[in-house]
Amino acid sequence: MSKETESEIKRRRTFAIISHPDAGKTTLTEKLLLFGGAINSAGSVKGKANSKYAVSDWMGIEKERGISVTSSVLQFEYDGFCVNILDTPGHQDFSEDTYRTLMAADSAVMVIDASKGVEAQTIKLFKVCVMRHIPIFTFINKMDLEAKDPFDLMDEIENVLGIRTCPVNWPIGSGKRFKGVYDRNTKEVSMFRAVSVGGAKGAAETEYAVEDEKLKEEIGDELYEQLVEECELLDGAADEYDQERVDRGELSPVFFGSALTTFGVRTFLEHFLSYSKPPLPRESDAGVIDPMTEDFSGFIFKIQANMNKAHHDRIAFMRVASGRFDASKDVFHVQSGRKFKLSQPQQIMADDRKILTEAYAGDVIGVFDPGIFSIGDTLTVPGKKFAYEGIPTFAPEHFARMVPVDTMKRKQFMKGVTQLAQEGAIQIFKDYVLDLSEIIVGVVGVLQFDVLKYRLESEYGCEIRLEPLPYNYIRWVKDPTMDLTKLTRISDCKKVKDMRDNPLLLFANEWSIRLVLEHNEGLELTEFKKN
């Protein structure tokens, strides 16, 4: 491998930002982009300063509702590092998109609202990080508002999420009494003062040594004594920073700040870049693939239709997993056995695009999908035929029969439904016997039904009617050759096939699942499948 390629890979940092909705994830993302010069004002891609929506939100429904429903990929340069941020939806109804995105990340940043602590969605996403043993960094946000006691927040992270914590800095007060943060390494205090910057809130930061008399004057005797006591307590009781434990996902470095006012964000970014690792090795059916391997390889973790409505294009998001990608050279698509050049590889910033000629391990790029890519597919140099680990498909929990309002638009309807299903946001099924005369859609969260209706209408000109079905559980049949018509005691469940003709069963409750298993010897069911 050339020294240039090795150097480029080593300076990459690729991480996902996860949080409960409204914890401030999008705001933190934008402030990181501001530091990297990727945008020139919060909520806008460079040159589009009049945009009022988040830079990472590009879909019409996201702008209308103020929620993120898809993952975005954002890249910027900072202090010699090339940083790839994978911004994810916070809303639990879109958690499956977040699961897939985490498969493309080397570490995760967990944003927690200081007034609410660890919330339900944080727990769910965190467990996926633990499952993958990836390093987790914690940013406790909104310290300029009323907040829980910082020791209680640390206890909550440790007890609820089961990971030890190591505070890198420590807050002085909160809400109206929030005075700043103490850096436990430099023994300096960054003072917090809210200021207005062109109609937006910012923070002026002044540095004081902890023993400086001016600091005592600024924060008052009570808060100063409290700071000294709490620091002594931390030095005696808190876990010490241990890089190996951080790398194994057993210890989370914790930072306090306020993304809205940008206070503590630069400190967090600089520590994160020094603590986090370059691209990590990946498991494949040929063993572990080192990112420093000379040969290019990558995998598809996300597909998005109609990012450019004018062209009805399909963009596949590829994580480069090893070597250097050269846009002028052929790649080999392992699943189809085909060799071709990837058309117009690009870096995507919301709906802004830049054509690339090269990319390195750790980068995430968008490529046009000629209609053959699926989530989990592997791309390599010609002659290499290994495949990366599959990406799990999680079981949907809500089901509905989907009917086109205009039967003359059946062709458009099927095209739209199939393309949206290939993205992985929805799963579609057909009746086991009736086949395509009945289309059933399954989603992880009910809000996805709204997105489905919106996108079919706005992107494919196809209005639909959704008829809810009384099922909440789905199970794949392990033996795809099994004849489901011969099963007994299945009056409470529905027999279906997925679009690859794999047999499945839909159940109303867990009792029905147990009943069917008891009365059908040899039947094996599984909760999820790998693509």
Secondary structure in 3-state letters for 24-76: CHHHHHHHHHHHCCCCCECCECCCCCCCCCCCCCCCHHHHHHCCCCCCEEEEE
Residues 157, 148: Cα–Cα separation, whole Å:
13
Domain stop point among 275, 292, 319: 275
One domain for residues 433 and 493: yes
Per-residue confidence band for 103, with pLDDT thresholds at 50, 70 and 90: confident
One domain for residues 367 and 444: no
Residues 130, 99: Cα–Cα separation, whole Å:
12
333-352 per-position pLDDT tens digit:
999 999 999 988 887 665 56
428-457 per-position pLDDT tens digit:
999 988 766 789 999 877 877 888 898 889
Domain stop point among 324, 348, 380: 380
The length of the chain is 531
CATH number for the domain spanning 314: value is: 2.40.30.10
One domain for residues 360 and 422: no
One domain for residues 364 and 502: no
User: Nearest to residue 331, comparing CAs of 322, 342, 345?
Assistant: 342
Inter-residue contact 413 to 404 (CB < 8 Å): yes
One domain for residues 271 and 288: no
CATH number for the domain spanning 445: value is: 3.30.70.3280
Q: What domain range is 365 assigned to?
A: 282-380
Question: Would 162 be classed as within a structural domain?
Answer: yes
110-148 per-position pLDDT tens digit:
999 999 999 877 777 777 777 778 899 999 999 999 999
Question: Would 210 be classed as within a structural domain?
Answer: no
404-436 per-position pLDDT tens digit:
999 899 888 998 888 888 777 788 999 988 766
pLDDT at residue 131 in the model: 73
One domain for residues 372 and 399: no
Question: Would 429 be classed as within a structural domain?
Answer: yes
The answer to which of 60-74, 208-222, 238-252, 471-485 has the lowest mean pLDDT is 60-74
One domain for residues 124 and 11: yes
DSSP per-residue string spanning 319-357:
EEEESEEETTS-EEETTTTEEEPPSS-EEEETTEEEE-S
pLDDT at residue 454 in the model: 87
Question: Would 196 be classed as within a structural domain?
Answer: no
Instruction: Take residue 500 and report the two structure tokens written for it.
Output: 């690859």
Inter-residue contact 146 to 177 (CB < 8 Å): no
One domain for residues 121 and 93: yes
Angle at 422 between CA 419 and CA 425, to 5 degrees: 100
Helix axes 410-423, 447-460, angle to 10 degrees: 130
Question: Would 220 be classed as within a structural domain?
Answer: no
Residue of 226 and 66 predicted with greater confidence? 226
pLDDT at residue 203 in the model: 67
What's the structural domain count of the chain?
A: 3
Question: Would 156 be classed as within a structural domain?
Answer: yes
pLDDT at residue 447 in the model: 78
Mean pLDDT, residues 381-385: 93
Domain stop point among 221, 255, 275: 275
CATH number for the domain spanning 21: value is: 3.40.50.300
One domain for residues 117 and 27: yes
User: Nearest to residue 54, comparing CAs of 98, 99, 21?
Assistant: 21
pLDDT at residue 71 in the model: 42
Residue of 220 and 193 predicted with greater confidence? 220
One domain for residues 266 and 308: no
Q: Taking 90 as the threshold, does the pLDDT of residue 51 lie above it?
A: no
Per-residue confidence band for 259, with pLDDT thresholds at 50, 70 and 90: very high
One domain for residues 444 and 526: yes
One domain for residues 371 and 403: no
Instruction: Take residue 220 and report the two structure tokens written for it.
Output: 């008052």
Q: Taking 70 as the threshold, does the pLDDT of residue 25 lie above it?
A: yes
Question: Would 47 be classed as within a structural domain?
Answer: yes
Question: Would 183 be classed as within a structural domain?
Answer: no
pLDDT at residue 395 in the model: 76
Q: Say which residues have a Cβ less than 8 Å from residue 104's Cβ, sequence separation at least 6.
A: 14, 16, 86, 299, 301, 302, 317, 319, 364
Q: Taking 70 as the threshold, does the pLDDT of residue 250 lie above it?
A: yes
Mean pLDDT, residues 14-28: 87
Q: Taking 60 as the threshold, does the pLDDT of residue 228 lie above it?
A: yes
